[in-house]
Amino acid sequence: MVTSQASLKRDGVQDFVTIRATAIIMTAFSLFMLWYFISTPTVTYEGWHALFSHLGMKVFTFATLLSIMLHVRIGLWQVLTDYVKAAGLRAAVQFVLNLIAFVYVAVGLFVLWGI
């Protein structure tokens, strides 16, 4: 009980739900961006800047970035446990990759903040 709470890694059901819930958000964002590029004849700086200065778009973008972090936390763990057998090395690689995922979120947050 204590271990499972302290490890931040919850049970399989939570991983199952998280990977799907985040996938839906990221797919929605991808389709929205696809629609934006198809429906906008010429993407200009003004239009591009205006898109991301909209509060709804900021929330959508940030939700997508958070989803990426949660999704890769599970996905990369699944892949690493299959191919990197040495526990120490796997922990190190996972640390670095999760750190990069956090950087994605942090960069996104501060860029959105400044728009």
Partner 1 sequence: MTKHPTGIRAKNVKKQRPVNLQLNTISFPPAAITSILHRITGVALFFALLFVIGAWACSVSSPEGFEAVQQQMNGWLGKVIAIGTISALSYHILGGVRHLIMDMGVWEELESGNNSAKAIIGIWIVLTVVVGVLLW
Contacts with partner 1, residue ranges (CB under 8 A): 20, 23, 27, 30, 45, 48-49, 52, 68, 72, 75-76, 79, 97, 100-101, 104, 107-108, 111, 114-115
Nearer to partner 1, 4 or 31 (CB): 31
- Residue length of the chain: 115
Show the tokens assigned to 53: 């200065």
Instruction: Name the minimum Å distance from CB 3 to partner 1.
Output: 28
Handedness of CA 95, 98, 102, 103 (dihedral sign): positive
User: Is residue 54 part of an annotated ligand binding site?
Assistant: no
Closest-CA residue to 77 (of 101, 57, 97, 60): 97
Instruction: Name the minimum Å distance from CB 104 to partner 1.
Output: 5
